[in-house]
Amino acid sequence: MQLVDSHCHLQFKKLSGDLASVLDRAQAAGVKNIICVGTSLADSQEALDIAATHDNIWASVGAHPHDGADFAKQKDAAQILNKLSKLDRVVAVGEIGLDYYHEHTDRALQTSILRSQIEATLERGLPYIFHVRDAFSDFWQIVDDYKIERAVVHSFTAGTKTLDKILQRGWYVGLNGIMTFTRDHAQLDAAKQVPLSNLLLETDAPFLTPAPNRDEICEPRHVRTVAEFLASLRNESLEELAAATTANAAKLFGIQL
């Protein structure tokens, strides 16, 4: 059995400082492949540097909505992103999107930067990793202006109505440790209804450590805990869930596993 962590941040200090041990623990847990996700142009390059030296790690590049102001200030940011997206080991653009929950960046600026990043990379045909929090209404209006055939909405915590809109577009849904400690039954109901063919597993490490390990730093190894919880919640075998989500990751990101 093998698992894929489809969304983590190995370049962040809590993980990069002991990366070899982090990866050894992931392997021991059956997490054989990892997508290292960029959140700014600078750390997208760091994600790429990690991927370049590990044959089981791939990178995505993009600017998270929290980093939108920095992206907007950087000269030729869209052109830089375009160049990064063409490098070896890059399998996706992201994480990009809208976050109205924390709103570290002005909403108008967030929407402008999201459009800029999509337009800078659409020609590449790469899948998108979207971060959307309390902003789906505006998000749909933006993305539907473009022909985006492959994408995942990561760290999904919305309800079934939003899930239906994701599935209508043929996209994937990323579930992580939030599912193990949420008290929102609507989130769990939606998690049960994600078709196995559209499901990805992720950790968002070093964040969102699943229960019962909430006091630990989240690592890719914890994707197994997420998988075990979801298998029980969805009344599926762990092996079935692992096989399907691994195949889904390979298909979405175009990688050989």
What was the pLDDT predicted at 6?
Answer: 98
Residue pLDDT, tens place only, 158-171: 999 999 999 999 99
Rg (CA), the chain: 17
Residue pLDDT, tens place only, 81-127: 999 999 999 999 999 999 998 877 889 999 999 999 999 999 999 99
Residues 37 and 197: their CA atoms lie apart, in Å, by 22
Residue 70 reports pLDDT greater than 90: no
How distant is the alpha carbon of residue 19 from its chain centre? 19
Phi, psi of 6 (to 5 degrees): -85, 0
Domain 3-181+192-253 has CATH 3.40.640.10: no
Mean pLDDT confidence for 34-49? 97
- Please tell me the pTM assigned to this model: 0.97
Residues 63 and 114: their CA atoms lie apart, in Å, by 9
Residue pLDDT, tens place only, 221-230: 999 999 999 9
Residue 75 reports pLDDT greater than 90: no
Q: Where are the domains of the chain?
A: 3-181+192-253
Q: What is the band of 66 on the pLDDT scale with cuts at 50, 70, 90?
A: confident
β-partners of residue 99 are: 133
